[in-house]
Amino acid sequence: MNTLRIGLVSISDRASSGVYQDKGIPALQEWLAQALTTPFVIETRLIPDEQPLIEQTLCELVDEMGCHLVLTTGGTGPARRDVTPDATLAVADREMPGFGEQMRQISLRFVPTAILSRQVGVIRKQALILNLPGQPKSIKETLEGLKQENGEVVVPGIFASVPYCIQLLDGPYIETDPQVVAAFRPKNAIREIKS
């Protein structure tokens, strides 16, 4: 069985030097634990905003650790030190622009400055790499989308498309808790669950 491997990278000068506690990785771990019903293992990295180091970390997680999905948090704005998207694009084989577009679409519901975000989604070898926002609340909204009180999805989150994308990259079949985020696949890509 091909176990789902997920790399989590928090990119922050201050958190990596101990000035304050990193909130990105714990928020991602908590969200994944609720959202995924498929077993998975996590590799975590907390690093400063240094482009060569970010590139090296992404390559290590994909090439050596065999991650199917790598989620980064932080470093996606226009400030000079925000180099996460640049590092991500530098190690990419292909770009997946829909992810960045949808993340900004979700964030624009809350703040007009969402257009300043440079988040990208890319493919490197067998892996999908996604740049997420830095704040735990924004991470959750970006991944699962915006819902009404009754649970109806108003704006789809990006994670609804992740399981099928990884399936198309010959990765493991990923299942989610539909109460958190429903994985979407074309009918011919849905597998029956063996009980």
Q: What is the pLDDT of residues 105-160, one digit of tens each?
A: 999 998 999 999 999 999 999 999 999 998 999 999 999 998 888 878 888 999 99
Q: Give the residue-averaged pLDDT of 37-64.
A: 97
**Does the global pTM surpass 0.85?**
yes
Q: Is the pLDDT of residue 81 over 60?
A: yes
Q: Give the residue-averaged pLDDT of 90-119.
A: 95
Class of domain 4-189: alpha beta
More confident residue, 187 or 194: 187
Mean pLDDT of all residues in the chain? 94
SS3 annotation, the chain: CCCEEEEEEEECHHHHCCCCCCCHHHHHHHHHHHHECCCEEEEEEEECCCHHHHHHHHHHHHHHCCCCEEEEECCCCCCCCCCHHHHHHHCCCEECHHHHHHHHHHHHCCCHHHHHCCCCEEEECCEEEEEECCCHHHHHHHHHEEECCCCCEEEECHHHHHHHHHHHCCCCCCCECCCCCCCCCCHHHCCCCCC
